[in-house]
Amino acid sequence: MNALDPLSVRVARLNAALASASPAAVIEKAVEALPADRLAIVSSFGTESAVLLKYVADVDPALPVLFLDTGMLFEETLDYRDRLVDVFGLTDVRSLTPQFELLERRDPARDLWLRDSESCCHIRKVRPLSDALGGFDGWINGRKRFQGEARARIAHVESDGRLLKFNPLASLTRKDIEKVFEAEGLPRHPLEKLGFSSVGCMPCTSRTREGEAPRAGRWRESGRTECGIHRIGLPAGAGCGC
């Protein structure tokens, strides 16, 4: 594959080659397709994150892992991050935090989530990740089609502004995820046993009721299911207009 080909051509060729690929094969192809140190993993260290990180560690535990530390996460998530780093021997986990000046100006009382959750996510998640991805040519995330909504038709590879975005777990089912947890003896997020199927920031995360979609507890009753970091076409390093 020629790195000088248009991004759309590269995406089409990669998807053709990875149509029935395993998660490990997708990650290996991502490493092969991009120059050294130009590929990042983005992980929330949420309820299913151990599966992606297991496959990443099998390929290369030194790949940089970007973690959005919003300042509003559950303590259980921070503890789980530390545990997974140790379990998988990850050597380059980078915590991304919101700009202090921006928080002071837009959210001094830490209640922006209540008034405008989308702006809160932009300040605490989208902006820090967008800025960080300016130093990379591609990134890997853990979305799956079974999570529904905007994720139902994701391919193994997408374009995201100038970046390649890889979805190694896209075709896995919920049963597949469970099988990996069981077969590998992976540790579970502490909040999962309390009814949280998807975990984000504390104010905007609630338990999932029986029969609900996996992400129904995120921004409940707001009409939202995404924080904004997966909007295709977001330019790396772009400002959020805050």
Q: Model confidence over 174-186: pLDDT tens digits?
A: 999 999 999 999 9
| Percent share of the chain, pLDDT over 70 | 90
Helix, strand, coil fractions of the chain, as percent rounded to 5: 40, 10, 50
pLDDT category at 30 given cuts 50, 70, 90 is very high
pLDDT digits (tens, 9 = 90+) for 76-99: 999 999 999 999 999 999 999 999
Q: Is residue 102 part of a domain?
A: yes
pLDDT category at 235 given cuts 50, 70, 90 is very low
Q: Is residue 80 part of a domain?
A: yes
Query: How many distinct structural domains can be found in the chain?
Result: 1
Helix axes 7-17, 23-33, angle to 10 degrees: 150
Q: Is residue 91 part of a domain?
A: yes
- 34 versus 224: the higher-pLDDT residue is 34
pLDDT digits (tens, 9 = 90+) for 102-134: 999 999 999 999 999 899 999 999 999 999 999
Which pLDDT score is estimated for 197?
Answer: 86
Which pLDDT score is estimated for 225?
Answer: 60
Residues 36 and 62 sit within 8 Å (Cβ to Cβ): no
pLDDT at residue 149 above 80?
no
Q: Is residue 238 part of a domain?
A: no
Which pLDDT score is estimated for 241?
Answer: 34
Q: How many helices (H) and strands (E) does the chain have?
A: 9, 6
- 210 versus 139: the higher-pLDDT residue is 139
> What CATH number should be reported for the domain holding residue 107?
3.40.50.620
**Mean pLDDT of all residues in 16-38:** 95
State the Cα–Cα distance between residues 28 and 22, nearest whole angstrom.
10
Q: Is residue 115 part of a domain?
A: yes
Q: Which domain holds residue 174?
A: 7-204
Tokens standing for 223? Answer: 């009409």
Helix (H, G, I), strand (E, B) or coil at 181: helix
State the Cα–Cα distance between residues 185 and 89, nearest whole angstrom.
15
Tokens standing for 194? Answer: 């309390």
Which pLDDT score is estimated for 226?
Answer: 65
Q: Is residue 146 part of a domain?
A: yes
Burial label, 221 (beta-carbon count in 10 A; 0-12, 13-18, 19+) = exposed
What are the residue numbers of the active site? 227
**Mean pLDDT of all residues in 55-74:** 97
Taking the CB of residue 167, how many other CB atoms lie within 10 A of it? Answer: 23
Which pLDDT score is estimated for 230?
Answer: 63
Q: Is residue 242 part of a domain?
A: no
**Mean pLDDT of all residues in 23-27:** 96
State the Cα–Cα distance between residues 162 and 131, nearest whole angstrom.
13
Helix (H, G, I), strand (E, B) or coil at 216: coil
pLDDT averaged over the chain? 89
Q: Is residue 230 part of a domain?
A: no
Looking at mean pLDDT, say which of 1-10, 117-126, 183-192 comes out highest.
183-192
Residues 188 and 47 sit within 8 Å (Cβ to Cβ): yes
Which pLDDT score is estimated for 233?
Answer: 43
* Cα distances (Å, whole numbers) of residue 138 to 69, 84, 206: 21, 23, 32
Question: What secondary structure letter does DSSP report for 124?
Answer: I
Alpha helices in 163-206 (DSSP H): 174-184
